[in-house]
């Protein structure tokens, strides 16, 4: 770990970095487990500083906060990426069986051997450094959250309409081409590792596609997420 970057751990936790530097440091956290560990280990101590300035809020605030909550929809829990992968594998097994039986089936899903341990979309979205992007589409609101610390992106389609027979698919468009990062056949949300390219979310026929359709709901380069 570069000593200069490591030196920024304190300033980062105290939110004392300029915005550009914060983004740089967060990107560094993604490739520096040692730094992440230190940040995590110091977070509780940092927030304990709040105890010095605790103050009773105006009594009227409580009612406003609770009323706002009563009018705000809550996000549903999210299915873990681990279950997603098992289902993908099941899909591949089914496809292989179909081929044996002489039925032509194409499954637009890639099972990767180098998948990291399962990270849930919930974990990514609740990461303290998560940056949330909300995209209003004709079918509802799509949410994309990026955690540099975890080097993961969460895509949440819970508030999108889902026409019969259709699904949503997540892609990375990199220098080496277009790669499917996940198909949301049953689950509403998915967490995928960050890659060096554009993140895309498209609507596809159930089961996913080999190449994205024209129906692009979201596209953004990783460095802007």
Partner 1 sequence: MRRALRVVGEESSPDPEDDLDPAAVLAAVAGGDLDAFGRLYDDLAPLVFGVARRVVRDPSRAEEVTQEVFAELWRQAARFDPSRGSLRTWVLTIAHRRAVDTVRSAQASRAREEHVARREPVDVAGPEDAVVTAAEHEGVRRCLDSLTPLQSQAVRLAYYQGFTYPEVAELLGRPLPTVKTRMRDGLIRLRDCLEGHDGA
**Contacting residues toward partner 1, per CB under 8 A:** 6-11, 13-19, 40-58, 61-62, 64-66, 68-70, 72-78, 120-123, 125-128
Cβ atoms of residues 141 and 155 within 8 Å:
no
Nearest to 35 by CA among 56, 11, 51: 11
CB of residue 220 to partner 1, shortest distance in Å: 20
- Which DSSP string do the residues of 143-158 spell out, in sequence order? EEEEETTTTEEEEEEE
Closest approach, Cβ 156 to partner 1, in A, equals: 9
Whole-number Å distance between alpha carbons of 28 and 123: 19
Task: Write down the least CB distance from residue 123 to partner 1, Å.
Answer: 5
- Which CB, 123 or 198, lies closer to partner 1? 123
User: Helix, strand or coil for residue 91?
Assistant: helix
Helices within the chain (DSSP H only)? 3-6, 9-13, 19-31, 33-47, 59-70, 81-100, 121-125
Measured from the CB of residue 177, what is the shortest distance to partner 1 in angstroms?
Answer: 33
Nearer to partner 1, 147 or 209 (CB): 147
Tokens describing residue 58:
């105006």
- For partner 1, give the closer residue by CB, 44 or 101: 44
Q: Which is nearer to partner 1, 41 or 213 (CB)?
A: 41
Comparison of 147 and 180: residue with beta carbon closer to partner 1: 147
- Output the smallest distance, CB 124 to partner 1, in A: 9
Question: Are 135 and 142 in contact, with CB atoms under 8 Å apart?
Answer: yes
The tokens of 192 are what? 């995928």
């Amino acid at each position: 770990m570069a000593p200069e970057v490591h030196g920024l751990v304190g300033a980062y936790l105290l939110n004392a970095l300029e915005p550009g530097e914060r983004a740089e440091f967060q990107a560094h956290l993604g490739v520096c487990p040692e730094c992440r560990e230190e940040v995590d280990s110091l977070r509780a101590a940092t927030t304990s500083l709040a105890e010095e300035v605790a103050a009773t809020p105006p009594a009227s605030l409580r009612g406003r906060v609770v009323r706002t909550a009563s009018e705000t929809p809550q996000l549903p829990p999210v299915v873990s990426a681990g279950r997603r992968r098992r289902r993908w594998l099941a899909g591949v097994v089914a496809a292989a069986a179909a081929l044996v039986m002489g039925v032509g089936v194409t499954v637009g899903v890639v099972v990767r051997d180098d998948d990291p341990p399962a990270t849930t979309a919930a974990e990514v979205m609740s990461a303290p450094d998560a940056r949330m992007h909300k995209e209003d589409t004709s079918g509802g609101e799509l949410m994309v959250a990026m955690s540099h610390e975890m080097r993961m992106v969460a895509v949440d389609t819970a508030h999108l309409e889902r026409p019969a027979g259709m699904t949503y698919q997540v892609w990375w468009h990199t220098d080496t081409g277009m790669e499917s990062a996940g198909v949301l056949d049953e689950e509403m949300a998915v967490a995928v590792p960050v890659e060096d390219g554009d993140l895309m979310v498209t609507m596809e026929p159930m089961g996913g596609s080999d190449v994205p359709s024209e129906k692009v709901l979201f596209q953004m380069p990783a460095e802007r997420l």
